[in-house]
Amino acid sequence: MSSALRIAVSEEKGNVPVTILHLTGDLDGKTYQELEAKAAEVIGAGASNLLFDLSGIGFMGSAGLRALHAISNKIKTAGRGGSAGKMMLLNPTDAVSRVFKTLGFDQHFSIHTNLEEALKSF
Amino acid sequence: MSRTQQLEIAADLDSLKQARDFVEETTQLAGLDEDRTGELLLAVDEAVTNIVMHGCPQGGCTIELEFEGEPGACIIRIRDNARLFDPTAMLEPDLDIPPMERDAPGGFGVYLFRHLVDQTSYRVTGDGRNELTLLKRMADQHA
């Protein structure tokens, strides 16, 4: 299996527009910058509500956590007209949850297991 | 009787996946369960990433991974010819600071590999290389 990270972007209209980044592959020291770059790109294009679908992540290391943490800080000031944006996570795999839990981040990201509920919570 | 297997990789970020595949294949063959394999995998990935990014940022170094299966435990030894560095002597990040208030969650690689395996040790080999040994037990002791 390839370790490359693939990122597909889709838009959903809930109460507010939500940009979903669907991640597949490995989020490690090699690929985390690709995630930061893609997030910067969609934020730069005006997205302020980001949902990361992590159900396809086979491996994540602390570099992946660093990237999500950096994006979370960035999105807080990304809303149009100065309003804060929001970031949430959907369906993290065991490999992702392991890093969150070991480093104490599991309580500090908004994590959902249902797409509809995630969209409603923005 | 113990069994050993080895893999030599270039110390660059393209090799991370190869290192993880080696650990996954050897430890699962030895019977390590999925959760413990995942923990050991994460520990090795962090250790190798540290070598690549901090020990040998200029490139050109080599990393040797060795698996040793013992009764009740899997051992991974990581030898490299990067700058000499003892990761077991590093201070740990302060996890009492709420995560989102930390400037950047750096230094966590070392924390991860110390906390996800049962034993870590470091030495400089006879030929002057770093050697980090990570031991993961197959089951909790006194279980």
pLDDT digits (tens, 9 = 90+) for B71-120: 999 999 999 999 999 988 876 666 666 555 555 545 677 788 888 999 99
Q: Given pLDDT bands bounded at 50, 70 and 90, which one contains residue B143?
A: very low
Residue B16 inside a domain? The answer is: yes
**Could B46 and A102 be called an inter-chain contact, meaning their C-beta atoms sit closer than 8 Å?**
no
B80 vs A11, B12, B123, CA distance in Å? 46, 12, 11
Helix (H) or strand (E) holding B62: strand B62-70
- Residue A68 in tokens: 């999500």
Domain that holds residue A108: 6-120
Does residue A1 belong to any structural domain of this protein? no
**Domain total for chain B?**
1
Whole-number pLDDT of residue A59: 97
Contact A65 B100 (CB under 8 A): no
Interchain contact, B111 vs A98, CB within 8 Å: no
pLDDT at A24 over 60: yes
* Mutation choice for A interface testing from B9, B12, B16 by most A CBs within 10 A: B16
For residue B93, give its domain range. Answer: 3-137
ipTM score of complex = 0.88
Closest residue in A to B116 (Cα–Cα): A102
Q: Which residues of A touch B17 (CB under 8 A)?
A: 3, 26, 28, 30
Q: Do A61 and B100 touch (CB under 8 A)?
A: no
User: pTM for the complete prediction?
Assistant: 0.90
B143 domain residue, yes or no: no
Q: Is the pLDDT of residue B64 over 60?
A: yes
* CATH at B110: 3.30.565.10
Structure tokens at A10: 């889709």
Please give the average per-residue pLDDT across B31-60, as a whole number: 94
Q: Does any domain span residue A41?
A: yes
Residue of A nearest to B38 (CA): A95
Question: Distance between CA atoms of B93 and B107, rounded to whole angstroms?
Answer: 6
Beta carbons within 8 Å of B42's beta carbon, 6+ residues apart: A59, A61, A95, A98, A99, A102, B112, B113, B116
Asked whether residue A81 is domain-assigned, the answer is yes
Percent of chain A with pLDDT over 70: 93
How many domains in chain A? 1
Nearest partner of A18 among A91, A121, A113, A93, judged by Cα = A121
Q: Does B55 touch chain A (CB under 8 A)?
A: no
- Kindly state the helix (H) or strand (E) to which residue A53 belongs, with its residue range: strand A49-60
